[in-house]
Structure 1
Amino acid sequence: MKIFVSCFFIIISIIKTSASYTPVVMYHGMGDTAYGSINSVKTFLESKFPGIYVTSIQMGNNVEEDFLSSYLMNLNEQVEKACTMIKADVRLKNGYHSIGFSQGGQILRAIAQRCPEPPMKNLISLGGQHQGVYGFPKCMGTVKICNYIREMLNFGAYVKYVQDNLVQAEYWHDPLQENLYRDRSIFLADINNVKQPRNESYKINLTRLQNLVLVQFLNDTIVQPKESSWFQFYEPGQATVVYKLRNSTLYQEDWIGLKKLDETKRLKLLGTIGDHLQFHVHGKWFYNEIVEPYLSK
């Protein structure tokens, strides 16, 4: 009887511990996999918060398919599949926090905008490209993959075949051809509500977040421009001068709710020294600026 009672209280303790933390969903970036380099973050969170549920979105049935999906799987399809996975996971039914690594940041944002149930609470974007990119100076992949990306982008980022099949083309933003970007970008221009008529649900759903945390790596040599992590980009017609978020039409007309989040102090623009995704999981910055304020409850 004593053994039974002891086991009962241990089980109850585990359930209480697990239930005290909001689950976390992660989405990897280009050239990574669900349980590749980002797994160190999962391990770290589990060590800090015993019983916390941390899961990572995997596209495909294995590591190879997941890896290739970061280059060659239509982003709209990825978002749709990820939404289905999240809805089917009973451990996420009461809501979850999310962490997006590089292009995983804009994928998770699309999930927040298109799939409001179960609710995403805090969205942390580490080096995401929320206004897109105009250049790939350091492709994160094999020589063969990187060469293919360059060839396709040079062939025409807004050609339908390229848009439908190359992930990086789907958030390619050419400031010299803004009209072409608006009309033919099948992913980024859509979730940024550039197209007419505007999708009001994108704004409604994004402003349900408790916090939108946008991290820019201040020495980023991969994302061009690095300010895209804060929804900032090149002024139209050139590729030198970068506008400020609050000066943009996206913000001022509040197409997706950034202004509302900002005015209610739920839009966080954080910067950290280092190149793209170069931070110490066990370091003070990650714990003090990310983990403790946004993932500990």
Structure 2
Amino acid sequence: MTASRPKALQTFCLLLPLLVWMVDRSLCYKPVIVVHGLFDSSANFKNLLQYINESHPGTNVTVLDLFDNKESLQPLWKQVQGFKEAIYPIMQNAGRDGVHLLCYSQGGLICRGLLQTMPDHNVDTFISLSSPQMGQYGDTDYLRYLFPTYVKSNLYRLCYTQMGQTFSICNFWNDPHHHGIYVNVSDFLAPLNSERPEPNATDWKKNFLRLRKMVLIGGPDDGVITPWESSHFGFYDENETVLEMKYQMVYQDDTFGLRSMDYRGAITVYGVPGVVHTMWHSNQTVFKNCIEKWLT
């Protein structure tokens, strides 16, 4: 019997990796938190949930059911606070392993608000899916529905008022022909970018840089995010010529940590043609090529 023990131990050691894999493959997958966009709800993300469950079985995925549909027009700082209260317990349960944030459209700005204002967040990877990170300036069906008497060139007259800033879309309306007014009036995007003196800027930058990775996804056929390069932190100059991320003041001055993240190789950018705005979270090719590998 004594001689058989080493052989049994050897067999056990050989089988142990297989046993661990069989017990719980999900141990290697971090929780995923999904934040929806304007006029969306958790019901819009059934395909995305299916893709994640098929590729990473057992992953804890939470699609937050807050500020749905018309409620998504609430001011963005109010939404940031609401989502923060819902997300914080998930982060705490994840502990040192951390979580991933997958945030679509307007939700990408809400997630930036979370990342910059939470000193103890444990977000590993932030996936910004067709989100107007540098703002919005363009006529879209959404705008015509919300403000039928206003078009691109005139919307600043409403958005850059105290009343206008009570609408989420006005919180990131960035008119390049009225930049000075935007900087002074914007309640959300301008302070988030530290485009004007912000007392919390140093802390917000430190919080943002807790991220390990940021993935930026967008494309030229989006049809809603205008310019579409805003999803990559590009934006118009005063002549409506798009300047890419590295030529933006927020990058060059590293106002909230964008350049620092880029310098450490922590930003990945995907430009995907042929995808309209409402299909980013339902397109399996986008998931396979741009999202799946980051959810480990």
The TM-score bracket by the shorter chain reads: 0.7 to 0.9
For residues 172-183 of structure 1, what are the structure 2 equivalents within 5 Å?
172-183=173-184
2:38 aligns with: 30
Report deviation, 1:107.
1.0
1:221 aligns with: 223
Q: Distance in 1 between matches of 2:29 and 2:182?
A: 41
Contact 2:55–2:292 (Cα < 8 Å) also in 1 = no
5+ residue gaps, structure 2, are: 1-19
Contact 1:105–1:126 (Cα < 8 Å) also in 2 = yes
- CA RMSD, aligned part only? 2.6
2:247 aligns with: 247
Report deviation, 1:128.
0.5
- Structure 2 length as normaliser, TM-score? 0.83
For 2:288, what is the secondary structure of its paired residue?
helix
Report deviation, 1:285.
4.0
Q: Does 1:209 align with 2:176?
A: no
Any idea what the Cα deviations from partners look like across 1:90-119, whole Å, max 9, x if unmatched?
Answer: 544442101111111111111111114331
1:107 aligns with: 110
Q: Distance in 2 between matches of 1:130 and 1:242?
A: 14
Kindly provide the amino acid, as one letter, of the partner of residue 168 in structure 1.
I
For 1:30, what is the secondary structure of its paired residue?
coil
Q: Does 1:42 align with 2:42?
A: no
Kindly provide the amino acid, as one letter, of the partner of residue 276 in structure 1.
H
Contact 1:23–1:52 (Cα < 8 Å) also in 2 = yes
Q: Distance in 1 between matches of 2:70 and 2:23?
A: 37
Q: Distance in 1 between matches of 2:273 and 2:282?
A: 14
Taking only the aligned residue pairs, the percentage that are identical comes to 27
Q: Distance in 2 between matches of 1:282 and 1:168?
A: 25
Any idea what the Cα deviations from partners look like across 1:237-266, whole Å, max 9, x if unmatched?
Answer: 33x211121122211110111111111111
Q: Distance in 2 between matches of 1:218 and 1:121?
A: 28
Contact 1:120–1:209 (Cα < 8 Å) also in 2 = yes
Change (3 A) 1:280 1:53: closer
Q: Does 1:137 align with 2:137?
A: no
- Structure 1 length as normaliser, TM-score? 0.83
Q: How many residues align?
A: 272
Kindly provide the amino acid, as one letter, of the partner of residue 109 in structure 2.
Q
1:80 aligns with: 81
1:194 aligns with: 195
For 2:100, what is the secondary structure of its paired residue?
strand
Report deviation, 1:53.
0.5
Q: Does 1:51 align with 2:53?
A: no
Change (3 A) 1:37 1:120: same
Q: Distance in 1 between matches of 2:128 and 2:185?
A: 25
Whose radius of gyration is greater, 1 or 2?
Answer: 2
Change (3 A) 1:183 1:196: same
Q: Distance in 1 between matches of 2:231 and 2:57?
A: 31
Kindly provide the amino acid, as one letter, of the partner of residue 88 in structure 2.
K
Report deviation, 1:280.
7.4
Q: Distance in 2 between matches of 1:47 and 1:187?
A: 37
Change (3 A) 1:226 1:282: closer
Report deviation, 1:16.
3.7
Bigger mean CA deviation after superposition, 123-132 or 199-208:
199-208
Change (3 A) 1:100 1:280: closer
